[in-house]
Amino acid sequence: MAALPPKVIELRDVVLPLVGLTNAGPMPQRQTAQFLALHGLNSVNNFNLIEPHQAKDMVKAASARHPAQAMGILIQNNLTGLIWYVKDRTRRGLPVDANNIVLDDLHRGHMAYEAYVQNRDKGENIKALEKWYDKYDYNDWDRKVTETLSLVYGRNYCPIAYVIRPDKPAGWNPAVNAVNDYE
């Protein structure tokens, strides 16, 4: 039998156990190996090709195929978080290293996805931006417009408020001066 590529082994032995799948016992009966085979996954980067809402379908399909190893809501939430985490890092041009993913990344990814869904639903009901009138206080108007644009999402799951970000000083370097990953 041919050896598996390192990216498949990382996914099977590092990432999927973090999600909550078991990786013990004979290889054909391992939940991680069955999940990989069922969904045709061969790298953590494959999760960039999956939508976060599809985590439920993935768990349902795996549980139906292997009912003795049914998966619960925590695995579904962790899987949603993993998908969001991979999409987010890819969108921002950051590397996705299977060996550096921790459980907090999955939890934060899941919470970020839930916040996205809530804000997206609010943003879909927005029909127009607050119009500027000289009787308004500019700072109040600017805050309202920024809040509104933070509820409207573009194609990459990113609020379009980034188009009105404040200017940074000359020489500002995100690798050095950013206060968090998102900045």
The 10s digit of each residue's pLDDT in 6-43 is: 899 999 999 999 999 999 999 889 999 999 999 999 99
Number of domains in the chain: 2
pLDDT given at position 114: 92
Which residue among 72, 97, 119 closes a domain?
A: 119
CA 28/CA 39 separation, integer angstroms:
15
pTM for the model stands at 0.77
Residues 109 and 162 in one domain: no
Domain boundary among 71, 103, 119: 119
Both 142 and 113 in a single domain?
no
Q: Which of the listed residues 103, 119, 135 is the one where a domain comes to its end?
A: 119
Does one domain contain both 177 and 130? Answer: yes
- Do 83 and 138 share a structural domain? no
Check whether residue 81 and residue 45 sit in a common domain. yes
Each residue's pLDDT tens digit, 83-111: 999 999 998 889 999 999 999 999 999 99
Q: Is 98 in the same domain as 171?
A: no
Q: Is 159 helix (H, G, I), strand (E, B) or coil?
A: strand
Structure tokens at 155: 């194609």
